[in-house]
Structure 1
Amino acid sequence: MSLLRRWFDPIRSSWFYQKPIRQTVLSTDQGLSIYLRLDDVYSYLAVQQLPQLEEILVDELKPLKVVISNQAASPPNEMSALEWQNYCLNDAKILSKQHRFSFDETPQQPTTEALEQAETILKNTPLRGQDFLYLLEDVFHMLWQKQYGKLRTLYAMAKYHHKPQNFPERVFNYQPVLMSYFEIGGRQYHAVDDLLRLTRRLKQQKLFTDNPIFLINHIDWREHLISDAEELNEIQSLNPELDLYIALEDPISWLLLAYIKEELANYYNIQFRIYPLSYQGRDLFDWSLATRLSKRTEVEFTPFCRPTEQASIKMAQLFYSVPEEQQLEAMYSILQAVWTDGKDLSYLPHFNALMKELEIDTLSSIDVLEKLEENDQHCEMKSQPNFPVLELRVDGQNFVFNSLYRVWMIESIFSNVLEERYKSESSIEGE
């Protein structure tokens, strides 16, 4: 980093967060599209929202364009196809329970024969608009709930009584799709995780005819699912533990760590531990998205000083040079210096200033690289597709999840634990 940037970045970081964000108006020239795969479980959840979504779209976005691919993209984070499949099925079960999607308790991937039959049904049907979207939802139900008898009946009708249709709003192709997503104005939105963000954006641009009501059990930032004093005390008494594995060059690590520390840790009496990872090379980010997330989480963030590999090692060196009981506060200060104040910790004056702030007299002699590799190995064993990785332990149960999109699971898990305990107590009293 140049000397000019080292001097200037901390200054411009001080006013960046306060600057209003001007959102680009998304173009509607290409309409609104959703990309699906019949064997993608997230697509199954997504199609359950489509009839309701299209019903409130303005005419210029109708009909909703449906793109169905039969080609899966490579799994993320070097996961095997089987690891990714198992992760998706488990994650979809969690999402369906939280957001009240229809879903089988023991989901299985549809058979190849069933997928081929479903594609023929959807290619040949003359239905359009909402009628097609309802059929699409029904077909997904048949696939994922193993209603293969119904599917064969529809397939026979489609094969012998209809021919392939050619509608511009219905496309079948081989474009690799990892998981279902919406696209508008050149921007992509995950079909489940980003649904509320998409609907807020469409409402902002006056592209709805009515108020969008989706994912009604969504827990918004800085809103608590548990507010009853007695229930809160019960969760606190369980002394929940949370391990957080973070890539130091990842801005989402800062947003997530700061949010959990400021909003959840003390509130629920969470014993919070940090495990920094070696440099993961997470160089490609949607910086505007990270900035908008910082506004929603109320965590200050500036994009000027993403750590290099050398800087990441220096950050870890500071972290492991404070006593274990002070490491959470230390990591908060380290990431804040980088992501809010624009400090470059590979630059000795910045490093020494933070070392003094953390009251570190002598740097630890620990082999930092070896420690980071050890954390990498433990994190890899969690088989998660994204960072940061979180592991929550409460009431004898263990839960592993990942990314900023799953922070709501902490409070959802607490709520479910209380519900299970109350049911167990009622059962004992009834005996």
Structure 2
Amino acid sequence: MSFFRRWFDPVRSRLFYQQPKRQDVLPIEQGLSIHLRLDDVYSYLIVQQLTQLNEILSDRIKPLKIIISSQVGEPPNGMSQEKWQKYALNDAKILAKQHGFGYDDQPELPNITALQQAKTILENTPLRDDHFLYLLEDVFHMLWQQQSGKLRTLYAMASRQHQAQQFPERIFNDEPLLVSYFEFGGRQYNAVDNLLRLTRRLKQQKLLTDNPIFLINHIEWREHLMGDAEDLANIQAMHPTLDLYLALEDPISWLLLAYIKEDLADYYNIQLKIHPLTYHGRDQFDWALATRLSKRAEVAFTPFCRPTEKSVMNMAKLYYSVAEEDRVDAMYRILKSVWARGKDLSYTPHFQRMKKKLAIKHLTDLDITQQLKDNDTVCASKDQPEFPVLVLAVDGRTYTFNSLYRVWMIESIFNNILEQKYRATPLKY
């Protein structure tokens, strides 16, 4: 496998990367669908945007189809349902604060009785289009803000005055669903994280009647949230540290490390620490997704040679063979050689050349296998659903998050810390 990757991956990846950035037109025959679950907190967030989205949807893809599932999907990364729910509730709280969603400070999962009542209300209502979307949002608020009295009243009216309706744009099913997502043109878009990506696609295909304004506090790649010199100096003086737990065979590890090192670390005086993980089989990734993310983050990508398990071990061996103060730079160069130069570090000539470039005279005697397992153990204790895992320590507090989709939290956390300090400091006249 490594032989074929060594020769064909760089060619294939270069050609793939040079293809048009996105398919010109996606089919619209199936319209736009949103998949929800009444006890999914991400569904609760996104329903607060649906009326606004529906207002600017072209008639060509209306009505917006609502698909509501009653079954929970399997949590990612081997998490238990309990740990997943705890993570999701906290993550949603962060998203709500950042983007202005309505959300309870002490959220609780809706109970079974409330869920059954809510489903009956939505199944029986004769309301359609915008009227249904307003009702949908209201019902979600009742569920997630424990407004049991209002819910019981609506349920009594719905169960007595109406029977289950059959509308093509409203579907109830039992298909497992973990988190809410949109479906358009045969593609899935995570309801919150990919909302802006979806609206860009719809706008490109002239399927919106007005400019979409969503997630107004979204932090774009390479655009710093803080430009004030005094604010910047205050953050730099805190000497923040950021621990990165990276699966080396995952291109997202390269994209994340490169972006943080090139754009954030020096700017905010962040001290990086890298903890490589054992091989997790993440070399079977979505090429299109990684390519799209690399272009948005403006990080060099392709030609690449996907690392095998042996490659991961060799990469880690090189990393731990350099002095500790030089390891971040070393990992940056190692990953760049793999993901932007097409090198196969399970191949002895490539390995030796990288060893020479890193000025390594003697390889470490450290038990690399055990070290990576130890890193895995610490990483697993963070209870995060996705890699890479990031742990930011600043101003006496620690924040844990994950994936390229949450890199914006670094600057958001810095901004929140300064706001809290300013509020605590009395004004002087």
If the length of structure 2 is used for normalisation, what is the TM-score? 0.97
Q: 1:127 to 1:16 in 2, by over 3 A?
A: closer
Q: Are residues 1:82 and 2:82 paired?
A: yes
Rounded Cα–Cα distance in structure 2 between residues aligned with 1:10 and 1:56: 43
The CA deviation string for residues 91-116 of structure 1, in whole angstroms up to 9 with x for no partner, is 00000000000000000001110000
The AA in structure 2 aligned to 1:302 is T
In the TM superposition, what is the alpha-carbon distance from 1:285 to its structure 2 partner?
2.2
Rounded Cα–Cα distance in structure 2 between residues aligned with 1:284 and 1:171: 33
Tell me the matched-pair count. Answer: 429
Instruction: Give the match's secondary structure for 2:167.
Output: coil
Q: 1:111 to 1:249 in 2, by over 3 A?
A: same
Contact 2:5–2:305, Cα closer than 8 Å, also in 1: no
Rounded Cα–Cα distance in structure 2 between residues aligned with 1:164 and 1:318: 64
Aligned to 1:102: 102
Aligned to 1:123: 123
Q: 1:194 to 1:370 in 2, by over 3 A?
A: same
Rounded Cα–Cα distance in structure 2 between residues aligned with 1:100 and 1:19: 37
Instruction: Give the match's secondary structure for 1:175.
Output: strand
Aligned to 2:355: 355
Aligned to 1:47: 47
Contact 1:17–1:300, Cα closer than 8 Å, also in 2: no
The CA deviation string for residues 359-384 of structure 1, in whole angstroms up to 9 with x for no partner, is 11111111001110110011011000
Contact 2:283–2:307, Cα closer than 8 Å, also in 1: no
Instruction: Give the match's secondary structure for 2:246.
Output: strand
In the TM superposition, what is the alpha-carbon distance from 1:305 to its structure 2 partner?
1.4
Rounded Cα–Cα distance in structure 2 between residues aligned with 1:13 and 1:148: 54
Contact 1:13–1:342, Cα closer than 8 Å, also in 2: no
Q: 1:29 to 1:244 in 2, by over 3 A?
A: same
In the TM superposition, what is the alpha-carbon distance from 1:5 to its structure 2 partner?
5.5
In the TM superposition, what is the alpha-carbon distance from 1:3 to its structure 2 partner?
5.2
Which runs of at least 4 in structure 1 moved beyond 4 Å after TM superposition?
1-5, 7-20
Aligned to 1:188: 188
Rounded Cα–Cα distance in structure 2 between residues aligned with 1:116 and 1:250: 41
In the TM superposition, what is the alpha-carbon distance from 1:157 to its structure 2 partner?
0.5
Q: 1:13 to 1:163 in 2, by over 3 A?
A: closer
Instruction: Give the match's secondary structure for 2:313.
Output: helix
The AA in structure 2 aligned to 1:359 is A
In the TM superposition, what is the alpha-carbon distance from 1:6 to its structure 2 partner?
3.1
Q: 1:111 to 1:3 in 2, by over 3 A?
A: closer
Contact 2:320–2:364, Cα closer than 8 Å, also in 1: yes
Q: 1:260 to 1:2 in 2, by over 3 A?
A: closer
Contact 1:287–1:303, Cα closer than 8 Å, also in 2: no
Aligned to 1:327: 327
Aligned to 1:270: 270
What pairs up with 1:265-344 in 2 under 5 angstroms? 265-302=265-302, 304-344=304-344
Aligned to 1:111: 111
In the TM superposition, what is the alpha-carbon distance from 1:27 to its structure 2 partner?
1.1
Aligned to 1:379: 379
Q: Percent identity?
A: 66
Rounded Cα–Cα distance in structure 2 between residues aligned with 1:66 and 1:284: 32
Rounded Cα–Cα distance in structure 2 between residues aligned with 1:290 and 1:362: 35
In the TM superposition, what is the alpha-carbon distance from 1:11 to its structure 2 partner?
6.5
The AA in structure 1 aligned to 2:254 is W
CA RMSD, 1 decimal: 1.7
Contact 1:302–1:342, Cα closer than 8 Å, also in 2: yes
Aligned to 1:150: 150
Instruction: Give the match's secondary structure for 1:285.
Output: coil
In the TM superposition, what is the alpha-carbon distance from 1:284 to its structure 2 partner?
3.8
388-397 vs 295-304, which moves further: 295-304
Instruction: Give the match's secondary structure for 1:159.
Output: helix
Unaligned runs of 5+ in 2: none
Q: Are residues 1:367 and 2:367 paired?
A: yes
Rounded Cα–Cα distance in structure 1 between residues aligned with 2:16 and 2:115: 50
The CA deviation string for residues 317-373 of structure 1, in whole angstroms up to 9 with x for no partner, is 000000011100000011101111111110101111111111111111110011101
Rounded Cα–Cα distance in structure 2 between residues aligned with 1:124 and 1:238: 56
Aligned to 1:238: 238
Aligned to 1:91: 91
The AA in structure 2 aligned to 1:70 is S
What pairs up with 1:240-259 in 2 under 5 angstroms? 240-259=240-259
Rounded Cα–Cα distance in structure 2 between residues aligned with 1:121 and 1:239: 53
If the length of structure 1 is used for normalisation, what is the TM-score? 0.96
In the TM superposition, what is the alpha-carbon distance from 1:273 to its structure 2 partner?
0.6
Instruction: Give the match's secondary structure for 1:71.
Output: strand
